[in-house]
Amino acid sequence: MNDRTISIGGQAVTVKLAMKMEDSLQAFAVRAACFIGEQDIPYSEEFDGHDFGATHILACLGDEPVGTVRLRWFKSFAMPERLAVMQRFRGNGIGELLIERCRQLAESRGAGTLYTQALPQDVKYWEKHGWRRLEADDPGKGPRRLMAMVRPVDPSKPLPDADAPGQVTLRNEPQVDTSGLPVGGDRR
């Protein structure tokens, strides 16, 4: 287990699971500042319906939330996503601490692979930390193209040669009516 610690201005950065509503709200606030505020991501795209079925990890400097990552679970892999570090705290290793906590959690739950999707401009960051691309060609069109990337949970075990994990379903959540049923869905 990697127990690397970092400090900023003599104060330790702590990493914890979001176990209380306050923790989750802090994680959402960091994401909103980084993605909606800085990158102009629409609210409906950033908060996509997967948040309440995911594990959220929060990095704090004292009482101040400074970073977060969302971790979703699938049958054979874990998917860290929405990695966000407040702009003024970037370059201090907070992202690495958050991803290491994801790796530790995935290992404890028996997952063998971590899978993520990165923007083309962020691929080098992920590769620097042991991730490899699944798609070497065109990552797609549009302003937010994504590159599929993987890394083994246990670095001593190689990844099998494979495409993106089959269990990944990258789709928008269905729109639901006030009763919770999908709009246009079968009501039987």
For the chain, domains (ranges, CATH) are 7-152 (3.40.630.30)
Q: What is the pTM of this model?
A: 0.80
The answer, yes or no, to whether residue 89 has pLDDT greater than 80, is yes
pLDDT in tens, 124-147: 999 998 899 886 555 455 556 788
pLDDT at 156: 82
The percent of residues above 90 in pLDDT, for the chain, comes to 62
Q: In the 3-class helix/strand/coil scheme, how is the chain assigned residue by residue?
A: CCCCCCEECCEEEEEEECCCHHHHHHHHHHHHHHHHHHHCCCHHHHCCCCHHHCEEEEEEECCEEEEEEEEEECCCEEEEEEEEECHHHCCCCHHHHHHHHHHHHHHHCCCCEEEEEECHHHHHHHHHCCCEECCCCCCCCCCCCCEEEEEECCCCCCCCCCCCCCCCCCCCCCCECCCCCECCCCCC
pLDDT at 178: 59
